[in-house]
């Protein structure tokens, strides 16, 4: 087996620092991309859609759970699914504690076409606590999710709901941290180092960070 070269500490540090420099530049590129995303135009969305859980029928506005922003992951679970999508399930395993997102005025939920009873049974089997709703109308297709999975981002402002972002396919596997999800939203991390629209209230990084039971 061909392994990498073995360097002395001095040469190893030189090589590592060269690679680290490129890595940090990539981080800055992601910051610039997130800033561009925050400037994307919005599209108004009708609030007529309905979603179903074991204990309620909800509107799209209800899914915000009192927050200003909403991230919707369209999980591919379908009725009587013999083999639920492993990629979607790995995404679910990577979801951060929602208290951290809510501390930045953001809620996250899952939707699927599977009946709510099957959603609840599968979610319980997997040990997930993510709010997960059945969608029966055209919500998925209207938000560009037809055969696979997708992530949509919405915001409430001035009494209306707007769609601000959508993605699917490659790239979603890089999500999973609180910060990577917030970077998809119009308000971002709301930290004062980021470039954001003037209406976004921002404060000092680190100051808002808490253990999830301390908010």
Q: 158-196 pLDDT, tens per residue?
A: 999 999 999 998 888 889 999 999 999 999 999 999 999
Cα separation, 32 vs 152, whole angstroms: 20
Q: What is the pLDDT of residue 3?
A: 85
pTM, two decimal places: 0.94
H helix runs in the chain, sequence order: 9-38, 60-63, 86-93, 98-102, 116-126, 139-142, 178-182
Which two structure tokens, joined as six digits, stand for 27?
């981080």
Report CA dihedral (150, 32, 90, 77) to the nearest 10 degrees.
-10
Q: What angle do CA 117, 123, 129 make, to 5 degrees?
A: 120
Q: Reduce the DSSP state of residue 154 to 3 states and report it.
A: strand
Q: 37-46 pLDDT, tens per residue?
A: 999 999 999 9
Q: 115-127 pLDDT, tens per residue?
A: 999 999 999 999 9
- Full set of structural domains in the chain with CATH: 41-215 (3.40.30.10)
**Whose CA is closest to 38, among 155, 204, 212?**
155
Cα separation, 140 vs 149, whole angstroms: 9
Cα separation, 15 vs 152, whole angstroms: 40
Q: How far is CA 170 from CA 87, 151, 173, 179, in A?
A: 11, 12, 7, 19
Q: What is the pLDDT of residue 173?
A: 86
Q: Is residue 210 predicted with pLDDT exceeding 80? A: yes
Report CA dihedral (201, 206, 207, 209) to the nearest 10 degrees.
100
Q: In this structure, what DSSP letter does residue 173 have?
A: G
Host H or E run for residue 152: strand 150-157
């Amino acid at each position: 087996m061909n392994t990498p070269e073995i360097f002395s500490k001095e040469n190893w540090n030189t090589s590592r620092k060269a690679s680290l420099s490129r890595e940090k530049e990539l981080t800055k590129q992601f910051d610039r991309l997130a800033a561009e995303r925050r400037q994307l135009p919005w599209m108004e969305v009708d609030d007529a859609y309905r979603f179903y859980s074991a204990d309620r029928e909800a509107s799209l506005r209800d899914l915000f759970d009192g927050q200003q922003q909403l991230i919707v992951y369209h999980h591919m679970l379908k009725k009587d699914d013999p083999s639920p999508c492993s990629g979607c399930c790995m995404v679910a395993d990577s979801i951060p504690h929602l208290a951290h997102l809510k501390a930045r005025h953001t809620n996250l939920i899952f939707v699927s076409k599977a009946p709510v009873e099957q959603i609840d049974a599968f979610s319980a089997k997997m040990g997930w606590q993510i709010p997960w709703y059945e969608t029966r109308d055209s919500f998925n297709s209207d938000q560009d999710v037809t055969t696979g999975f997708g992530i949509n981002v919405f915001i409430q402002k001035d009494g209306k709901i707007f769609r601000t972002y959508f993605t699917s396919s490659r790239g979603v596997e890089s999500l999973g941290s609180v910060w990577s999800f917030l970077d998809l939203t119009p308000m971002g991390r709301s930290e004062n180092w980021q470039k954001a629209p003037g209406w976004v209230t921002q404060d000092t990084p680190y100051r808002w960070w808490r253990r999830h039971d301390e908010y």
